[in-house]
Structure formats: C-alpha cells, structure tokens
Structure 1
C-alpha cells in the first residue's frame, strides 16, 4: 500500500508524521555503528539500518510506501528536507568509497533501491560459506548458550540471504505452510 504524502497534511507537528524531524535530528549522527563495506556485510548492515530508520519513523519513506508530494503541496519543502536528512543518515553508514559514488542520488528511496540492486544479489559463494560454517560448527569448549547463539546467528544470516518466497495473494493457498515445512527440513538436515 502506497500512502500519498499529501494525505498526511493534517498532522505535520506529530512525531507520527513520517516527515517529522525532531529538533535533535541532523545530518551528522551515525544511526548504526556498522558501515556497509562490501556485499559480505550487506545483509547485517541492511537489517541494522532498517531497524534504525523504523525507530525514527522513516522506513516507509525509504522503501517507497509513501510517495513524494506534488510540486504545489504545502508539505513539499518538509518532505524534501526529510528526504535529504535520510540520505545523509544512510550515506554516513557507508564507507567513503561506496558513498562517494552514491552522493548524487536525490531520493532516499532511489538510494535504497540502488544499494539493494547492487549488494543484495544472491551470492552463491556467501550462501555456500554460511552453509559450510553451519555444518562445521562444533560446541567444543563453548557453553550450550554460546553454541546456540552462534548457530542461530548463522541461520538468521542464511535466511536473510535466501529470503523465502512470500505469498501475497488473498486466497487460502498453502505456500506459507510449504515454506515453513521446507525451513524445518533445512534446519533438521
């Protein structure tokens, strides 16, 4: 569902408005400590930045759920300012080598799409390495809790790389159930 930014006109001063910027929001803060360096850390970087942007109520703008206002909208300036703030936040979490090539993108949602297209390509090598790490993992001298957290971390990262097919239809199909069964079998193996 895409929300038109002009439909949000009535509550511009509310922190719930997607374009609301708190007085402490400025371009310099780094929202997350990890920086995007290569495709190797893209999935964990993406998860971290999505959490941070959602906490600031800006994720819907970035993923394109809220469309830009029209040129004559009374909130265009506010939305443009918020868009540029989001761009600066994202660029601050990317290494300089990558950020320099992206600094002329004028839309936070276009920046997000560009990063996703470039770095989220399923990399068979990364999937192989994770599957190998999982199969080679031994408890050794670790406690059960530490062993479990390592294993779970690998599984979560693998799941992020191999995003399962999500059924979005409104019928009562069995895709969700089939995906769940496939995941359970994968974990068992």
Structure 2
C-alpha cells in the first residue's frame, strides 16, 4: 500500500489545502483548486474507514456509547476511562481531545465534520446525569464539553479515597464466591490507584 493510500484526506496545512507535514502522518495527494465542487463533496463523504470523519451507520443508532453515567467527581475517573476506550475504538478520540478541530480540515469537509461532531456530542451528553447538563447542554463542539467536564470533575476527592481505603480494608467474602470477592476487591484497588498518582510521576505534576 502506498503512502497516498494511507494519508488523512482533507487536512489543511499552514493555511493551504493539502496533506499534513507531520512526519508521523504519510503524505497524500489532494484535489487541487480546479477540482469541481461535486468532486470535492464526494471526497468529503466517501471516506476510508480509518479516516477520523468516517461515520458508519452503526454509530448513529442512538444506543448509548457506554452504560455508565457521569454523576459527579466520584464517578468521573471510571466514566472518563470508559468513554476514552469507546471513543478510541471508534477512532473519534481526536474530536474530544482537540486533535481534529474543524479548522484543520478543508472547507468542503466541514459539513461532514459538523455531522460527526454532533454525533460525538450526543454520545457524551447521553451518558451525563441530567442534573449536570446545565453547563454543557448548549455547547456546539464536543471537545469543549469534554474539557468542561474534565475541569469540573477530574479532581481527587479526599472523602472518596478515604472511602475506598475503608472499603478495601473491611471487604469480606461473606457468602460471595471467591471469584466475585476478588473481582470486587480488584475493582476497588484499580479505582483507588487511579485516584492516587504514583510518586515521581512528572505527568501528574
């Protein structure tokens, strides 16, 4: 497969329509300014499955992306991780982390970007508790909602970490099977470790 077949179509580089100069992205030839509007429109809708703006019919079914709902600080860590995995699996993480903003694509790709952005935005809103939507419900871009939720709820709660520590220390098997007991214990430890950054972690400073 050639580099042309692997590139990200429709990108704008330094204000000029064309391929990305990022060495991690293969180069690709793009329609020139003489390309007809019809051809440009077709290139924006007939996208390869690996393209960040590709949207299969299964992604617009209305089914919630994950079963977990964001209810506040105590659930943000697990909710965020679940959403990241779901978005990465659909190649849409770039629309919420700012990697694939609208202005990075040529103008003929904007309607498709807006359509995909609306779908991703609905995925986020549909798994946020209704009591928390007042600050984000009128946002028009998925990445701004993602950042707003991160700013509001990505906080280490002292009461939550204390509660987890107490749950771990007092958890007993009781009448539960060994597998259920250890699954619950492992889940508590995983959540506890996600809330407490390791010592010497530069990324967490």
Q: Normalised by the shorter chain, which TM-score bucket?
A: 0.7 to 0.9
What is residue 82 of structure 1 aligned with on the other side?
116
Deviations 1:144-168 (A, max 9, x none): 3222211110011112222436456
SS of residue paired to 1:154: helix
Aligned length: 166
TM-score of the two chains, using structure 2 as the length reference: 0.70
Match of 1:34 among 43, 64, 68: 68
User: Offset at 1:19?
Assistant: 1.2
Deviations 1:7-29 (A, max 9, x none): 47868511111111112332733
Change (3 A) 1:71 1:33: closer
What is residue 147 of structure 1 aligned with on the other side?
181
Change (3 A) 1:27 1:143: closer
What is residue 58 of structure 1 aligned with on the other side?
92
What is residue 160 of structure 2 aligned with on the other side?
126
SS of residue paired to 2:108: coil
State the alpha-carbon separation in 2 of the partners of residues 154 and 4 from structure 1.
44
What is residue 49 of structure 1 aligned with on the other side?
83
State the alpha-carbon separation in 2 of the partners of residues 53 and 114 from structure 1.
17
Larger RCO (alpha carbons 8 Å, 6+ apart):
1
What is residue 52 of structure 2 aligned with on the other side?
18
Change (3 A) 1:111 1:146: same
Bigger Cα Rg: 2
Task: Please list every run of 5 or more consecutive structure 2 residues that lacks an aligned counterpart in the other structure.
Answer: 1-7, 12-18, 21-27, 31-42
The CA RMSD over aligned residues, in Å, is 2.7
Deviates more, 1:143-152 or 1:117-126: 143-152
TM-score of the two chains, using structure 1 as the length reference: 0.75
Task: Please list every run of 5 or more consecutive structure 1 residues that lacks an aligned counterpart in the other structure.
Answer: 169-189
Match of 1:156 among 172, 185, 190: 190
